[in-house]
Structure 1
Amino acid sequence: MTKQILKIHNKSDIPDNIVQKENQLIEKCIEIEKQLPTFMKDFFIYLKNGVALSTRHAYLQDILFFCKYLLLETNLTKASQTEEISQDDFNGIKARDINRFIGDYCTRYIVEENGTPTIMENHNRALARKKSSLTVLFKYLFRDEIVKENITDGINPIRLPKPQPDAIKKLEIDEVAKMLDTVESGLGLTEKELIYWEKTKHRDKAILVLFVTYGLRLKELQQLNISSFNFNRGDFKIYRKRGKEVNMPLNYSVEKVIKDYISIERASDDQISEKHKDALFLSLQKTRMTEKAIRQLVKKYTSIALGTTPSNGYSPHKLRATAATSLIQNGFSIYDVQNLLDHDNVTTTQLYAAHKKNVKREIVDQFEWLEEYDHKK
């Protein structure tokens, strides 16, 4: 059966492609909610209005996974379907049951698909997210008197490794130059890659320059439209997490690569279907590039800069880290970089600041008190 394509009546200022994608995710959330117990309905409303859409989807996935575990792996319910699990069943769940689910079952379980068993493993970061989903659920159910006890205090902590600045993967400035030289000249590409490069080099260059200039998230770049750009005013519009609209200033480098791509390489409007006519970055099939295609493109060019295989190339998120550390190394404050990259917390930006090499040496060398050593004077 062919899946029905939703038609969206968009009355907001947000571009249709972004509204369409959000509604597709909303539909996925609704499908999961249909499989969950009806006594959770008010919790679904809470998620709908209280958290980001991607978080809502992640929580629902985790809760459905837990409900399936209750059916298949425990004696905590006599229900045969997840939606049949009762309020009384949830009242019988103790903290130790959650700890067994997260600490034992989730670390290693088997999924059978088409008769082939696959071992699935979750490490601490994934386990912490599942713990968070269930903690939010049980706190809500206790608050609304659906369960009688707040069992969340008894859920075992999960220790996450502290992010280490030295572990942040990024390109050095000379590697960025090499990457941009590759996309400019084709040097380092295979014969097969060169065939495609001839048709997409201006597009690829524009994508890479946008990533390393602004540290855009993959989703933010993939959603860009022709109408996002106002060259007369020298800015372009992006939509951050939680639908936050932001105007970003254009510099000369970015303006040039975008204009070159549009004028030299991008297909003309009469060759593009109505659905993709406003999309900035197009595939060779003249449709909006997917996040997967952009990710593969970035891995290909970064692997050449790093001197490694395409599978070991860097993701777009590593170019976000590259932008952050490059800006800090060029003297911009962590608060300016936090603002540009849209970090919720400045401590995230501080991780990139720690990458500035020999920062103490640079400071004291430029701050001599004795005149004979002060080169500035």
Structure 2
Amino acid sequence: MSRKKNISVHNKSDKPDNIVTKENEIIEQCLKIESQLPPFMKDFFLYLKNGVALTTRLAYSEDVLFFCKYLVSHTELTDADHTTLIKIETFQQMTAKDINRYLGDFCSRYSIEKEESIKIMENHNRALARKKSSLAVLFKFLYRDGLIKQNISDGLNPIRLPKPQPDAIKRLEIDEVARMIDCVDLGEAFTEKEKTYWQKTKLRDKAILMLFLTYGLRLSELEQLNISSFNFNRGEFKIYRKRGKETAMPINRTCETVIKEYMANERPQSSALDEEHKDALFLSLQRKRMTTRAIRNMVKKYTALVLDTTAKNGYSPHKLRATAATSLIQQGFSIYDVQNLLDHDDVTTTQLYAAHKKDVKRQIVKNFEWLD
């Protein structure tokens, strides 16, 4: 059994090594998937490499591989016994009806059989829409490159997605945020056994929650933060957003205070850490950079306390992003300023939060009385 080789980073970009390493892991996943797909798709992979975000490239590649496995195992469209052996002729003979059947009949509900179990997979419309989008991009590319004679993506059935409703936005109310911060500060909601762990992580957890609540950071943006990301003399810190955009964020007094308290009183000294984690801001008790999964579970734990539910049903970091957006708008900041802070591609996304005002229906009815 071969040993896994250590990976070192020779980094000449402005990105921190941890981000470059993370991106390399995604690239390796993409290459592994691409090696399982037919050779005629090589130029399509090149298009994905240069034309879309890295995570989108991975998602599209996974969807195309899933489709090719379906062709081999569940159809008579190809006589190939492996996805790499599928010929372009299979795609040339395919019609929109074949794709619609795949999306409507197979993808909506299928099973994964293992040695001792069978797992039933149910896909809702949002997941189906992504699979449809991945195949539409593939067929458009093959048509553009002259590998197939018609663009069958035009004949794909529409997949209806529910229009986002402001009332359906899940977020914490102002008083719930206050109670959550009290939970972190006091630990009164925990059992004696849980308090042992809380005592060791309360400053870290408070700093994480305040960053989420103040800036509406994405989970990946927070996980990537380093000590070197912060320049307290300038009053700012650096984050890397979707598609590798580097952004300097001003730091307010609250966040500066909680981060400095964590670094001074709880975070292990960098000299006591492995080289890989010396610069990581938020560390686990194992003295390693916190994973996105660990951060998500921590947020769910604290939000569950104020929502009076189980940790499994607590709010995710994305709900804290919604909390930050709605709170900022209710404080009077313009939707365009909030759009810029949260890095929304489309202002209509921000407008959803602007429409979500507490007790707005009650206020309307209260001020519209027919009788004195």
TM-score by length of 2: 0.95
Could you tell me whether the CA contact under 8 Å between 1:328 and 1:356 is conserved in 2? no
**SS at 2:179's partner residue?**
helix
**SS at 1:246's partner residue?**
strand
Name the structure 2 match of 1:217. Answer: 218
Shift of residue 343, structure 1, vs aligned partner: 0.2
TM-score by length of 1: 0.94
Could you tell me whether the CA contact under 8 Å between 1:219 and 1:291 is conserved in 2? yes
Alignment of 1:182-261 (within 5 A): 182-261=183-262
> Is 1:80 the counterpart of 2:81 in the alignment?
yes
Shift of residue 193, structure 1, vs aligned partner: 1.6
> Is 1:349 the counterpart of 2:365 in the alignment?
no
Could you tell me whether the CA contact under 8 Å between 1:303 and 1:313 is conserved in 2? yes
Shift of residue 362, structure 1, vs aligned partner: 8.7
Shift of residue 307, structure 1, vs aligned partner: 1.6
* Counterpart code for 2:32: E
Distance in 2 between residues matched to 1:193 and 1:361, nearest whole Å: 40
Shift of residue 309, structure 1, vs aligned partner: 1.6
Shift of residue 329, structure 1, vs aligned partner: 0.5
* Counterpart code for 1:228: S
Name the structure 1 match of 2:306. Answer: 305
Shift of residue 4, structure 1, vs aligned partner: 3.4
Alignment of 1:11-90 (within 5 A): 11-90=12-91
Aligned residues: 364
Shift of residue 101, structure 1, vs aligned partner: 0.3
Shift of residue 5, structure 1, vs aligned partner: 3.8
Alignment of 1:271-310 (within 5 A): 271-310=272-311
Distance in 2 between residues matched to 1:16 and 1:137, nearest whole Å: 33
Shift of residue 32, structure 1, vs aligned partner: 0.5
**SS at 1:248's partner residue?**
strand
Distance in 1 between residues matched to 2:165 and 2:191, nearest whole Å: 36
Distance in 2 between residues matched to 1:208 and 1:16, nearest whole Å: 25
Name the structure 2 match of 1:163. Answer: 164
Deviations 1:300-336 (A, max 9, x none): 1111111222111100000000000000000001000
Shift of residue 360, structure 1, vs aligned partner: 9.7
* Counterpart code for 1:57: L
Shift of residue 359, structure 1, vs aligned partner: 6.2
Alignment of 1:103-122 (within 5 A): 103-122=104-123
**SS at 2:286's partner residue?**
coil
**SS at 2:233's partner residue?**
coil
Could you tell me whether the CA contact under 8 Å between 1:36 and 1:82 is conserved in 2? yes
**SS at 1:57's partner residue?**
helix
Q: 1:362 to 1:119 in 2, by over 3 A?
A: closer
Distance in 2 between residues matched to 1:216 and 1:2, nearest whole Å: 37
Could you tell me whether the CA contact under 8 Å between 1:205 and 1:257 is conserved in 2? yes
Distance in 2 between residues matched to 1:3 and 1:70, nearest whole Å: 34
> Is 1:124 the counterpart of 2:128 in the alignment?
no
* Counterpart code for 2:162: P
Q: 1:3 to 1:160 in 2, by over 3 A?
A: farther
% identical aligned pairs: 69
